[in-house]
Amino acid sequence: MTDYIIEAELREETGRSATRRLRRAGKLPGIIYGGGKPDLAITMDYNTVSKLLNEEQFHTSILEVKVKGSRGKNKVLLKDSQWDPVMDTPTHLDFFRVAAGDAITMDVPVVAINTEKCPGVVKGGLIDVIRHSLEITCRADSIPDQIEIDCSNMDIGDTIHIDDITLPEGAEVQHDVNFTVLNLSATKAGTDADDTAEEGAAEEGEAAG
């Protein structure tokens, strides 16, 4: 798990107009809450944090937010982010205080690996990821960056369910149904080719008859 340190300042003004002024000044507003401590309204450097948001590990790591003018360090997780629907840029971040041993639940991305070795893919099949993330419960200091699914032995028609996945030690996914995470299906092109071959064989059989 990667460590990230974010420099921030206390934010005195709140509201939409104040937020717009901050963004024009190159600042990104946010809030730190939870942990039995008072909420902290903060601002961060927009360019610095927007780059971090592009890193997958940033979303599943314990972050350290150093707030100028406040006592102590804040160990947090990124709990939520708001985005401009038109510009697709971050407008506000919510951070939740955590301790290393806290049990937390959060979404962790699913990644298919060894797809180039997959017999079904070699035959022209397509890996279809049904669940792009899993809701994992684990210790805050043991959040996996991603859940890797080894596809090296999969063939066309194979399916991976949640019960087929070995999760990191101490992690679990609460579920009542053994739901599908990914499968390997024939591509449409492959299906069309098979249909054409079958039709051709049938026509040849009719001609011979």
Domain ranges of the chain: 4-98, 104-193
The pTM (predicted TM-score) of the whole model is 0.73
4-98 is classed CATH 2.40.240.10: yes
Are residues 36 and 99 in contact, defined by beta-carbon separation less than 8 angstroms? no
Whether 144 shows a pLDDT value over 50: the answer reads yes
> What are the structure tokens assigned to 138, written together?
């684990």
pLDDT reported for residue 188:
56
Are residues 168 and 188 in contact, defined by beta-carbon separation less than 8 angstroms? no
Which is more confidently placed, 13 or 82? 82
104-193 is classed CATH 2.170.120.20: yes
pLDDT reported for residue 83:
92
pLDDT in tens, 152-180: 999 999 999 999 999 999 999 999 999 99
Residues 51-74 as b or e (16 or more Cβ within 10 Å = b): ebbeeeebbbbbbebebeebeeeb
The pLDDT confidence band at residue 109, using thresholds 50, 70 and 90, is very high
Q: Do domains 4-98 and 104-193 have the same CATH topology?
A: no
The lowest-confidence range among 68-77, 88-97, 153-162, 166-175 is 68-77
Overall residue count recorded for the chain in this entry? 209
